[in-house]
């Protein structure tokens, strides 16, 4: 059965949506739950998604709104604990990233997630967040400054 | 830099999009159901508010060409379905008296029946529901949707008869009915 435009969009963007969800939640299980809930919501309003100026950005907006609506209280850093210390060579950096992201304000966290983990352009990020491109640039710079203050991440975030 | 940060994102197992789609359809159906129920409820409220005071038969002006009527011993009209279409009216407790519509006031006012001034000749609900039709002509004085045929009608002490009357509701209870003009 041929996929319609919306289904094609979801198939194409699913990996990005999952990456964004991981950046927002900090662990794979919550990320899958968030992505699934967001995509269900997107399915129920697929005409709006397809009519949006930047459909892939609107899909991210739904993810962000779902995430915001699910947050009940300020979170503490909650990185996943690897099964064994040697299993994942980048586990330490990953935990540091999750902890650092959790310390960022919502907007900066979303900007980093969209720009650097989900790989959206400045224009698409601005569309997803409903702000100007200038704001995206400013928020990105501030967020990266804060990430650089983490010694584990300093090298990763160097330009 | 982006590539280095992206490498930190773990490989996440793809979602079952078929399941996502199914859940979305289920939610959409539920939303439609909720909207339908809300619309029906709103419609019912509007209809209920429109007809809550009195059956259409009482409020309607006599038809220019009344539906066929078979006179009975009590002179109550016998409505018949128009064009073979059955109709069921909505009712509120009321009585037709001296050419006016009176509505029940209980329990806001206690009945104090005085001089008897008549009896109920026709029970509108029984007649119309039995016929599954609505009488669009006028009803005899005392016809009621609230009480049985033969129930006593009396003045309400302290009130003019044109404004309030007391009606025997059965089992020793009386109800006060007030004209809609008062």
- Which among B72, B87, B71 is positioned nearest to B136, based on CA atoms? B87
Chain B residues touching A40 at Cβ < 8 A: 20, 23-24, 27
Query: What is the average pLDDT value for chain A, to the nearest integer?
Result: 85
Share of chain B above pLDDT 70, in %: 82
Contact state of B8 with A18 under an 8 Å Cβ cutoff: no
Give ipTM to 2 decimals.
0.75
Contact state of B12 with A22 under an 8 Å Cβ cutoff: yes
Contact state of A115 with B4 under an 8 Å Cβ cutoff: no
Q: A81-85, A106-110, B67-71, B125-129 — which is least confidently predicted?
A: B67-71
Question: CA nearest A159 in B: which residue?
Answer: B1
A109 interfacial to chain B (CB closer than 8 Å) = no
What's the pLDDT score for residue A83?
Answer: 52
Structure tokens at A55: 């459909």
Q: How far is A117 from chain B (nearest CA, A)?
A: 5
Give pLDDT tens digits for B130-173. 888 888 888 999 999 988 999 999 999 888 888 999 999 888 88
Contact B121, B142 (CB under 8 A): yes
- Comparing CB atoms, the residue among A11, A22, A156 nearest residue B9 is A22
Contact state of A117 with B27 under an 8 Å Cβ cutoff: no
Task: Tell me which residues of chain B, numbers 28 to 67, contact chain A at a CB-CB cutoff of 8 Å.
Answer: 28, 31
Structure tokens at A129: 């967040």
Provide the 10 A C-beta neighbour count for residue A11: 12
Question: CA nearest A88 in B: which residue?
Answer: B10
Contact B12, A18 (CB under 8 A): yes
Q: What is the pTM of this model?
A: 0.55
């Amino acid at each position: 059965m041929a996929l319609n435009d919306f289904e094609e969009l979801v198939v194409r963007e699913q990996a990005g949506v999952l990456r964004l969800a991981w950046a927002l939640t900090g662990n794979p299980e919550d990320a899958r739950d968030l992505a699934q809930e967001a995509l269900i919501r997107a399915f129920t309003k697929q005409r709006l998604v397809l009519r949006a100026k930047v459909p892939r950005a609107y899909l991210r907006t739904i993810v962000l709104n779902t995430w915001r609506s699910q947050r009940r209280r300020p979170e503490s850093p909650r990185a996943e604990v690897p099964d064994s210390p040697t299993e994942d060579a980048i586990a330490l950096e990953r935990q540091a990233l999750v902890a650092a992201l959790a310390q960022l304000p919502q907007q900066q966290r979303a900007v980093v997630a969209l720009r650097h983990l989900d790989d959206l352009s400045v224009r698409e990020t601005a569309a997803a967040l409903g702000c100007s491109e200038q704001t995206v640039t400013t928020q990105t710079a501030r967020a990266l400054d804060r990430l650089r203050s983490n010694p584990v991440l300093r090298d990763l975030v160097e330009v | 830099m982006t590539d280095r940060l992206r490498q930190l994102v773990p490989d996440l197992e793809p979602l079952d999009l078929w399941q996502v789609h199914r859940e979305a359809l289920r939610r959409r159906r539920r939303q439609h159901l909720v909207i339908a129920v809300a619309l029906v409820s709103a419609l019912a409220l509007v209809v209920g508010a429109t007809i809550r005071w009195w059956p259409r038969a009482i409020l309607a002006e006599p038809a220019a060409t009344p539906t066929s009527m078979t006179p009975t011993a009590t002179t109550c009209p016998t409505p018949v379905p128009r064009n073979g279409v059955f109709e069921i009216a909505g009712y509120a407790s009321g009585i037709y008296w001296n050419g006016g519509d009176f509505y029940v006031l209980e329990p806001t006012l206690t009945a104090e029946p005085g001089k008897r001034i008549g009896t109920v000749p026709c029970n509108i609900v029984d007649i119309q529901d039995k016929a599954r039709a609505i009488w669009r002509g006028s009803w005899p004085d005392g016809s009621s949707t609230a009480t049985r045929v033969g129930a006593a009608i009396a003045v309400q002490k302290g009130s003019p008869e044109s404004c309030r009357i007391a009606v025997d509701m059965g089992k020793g209870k009386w109800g006060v009915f007030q004209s809609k003009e008062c």
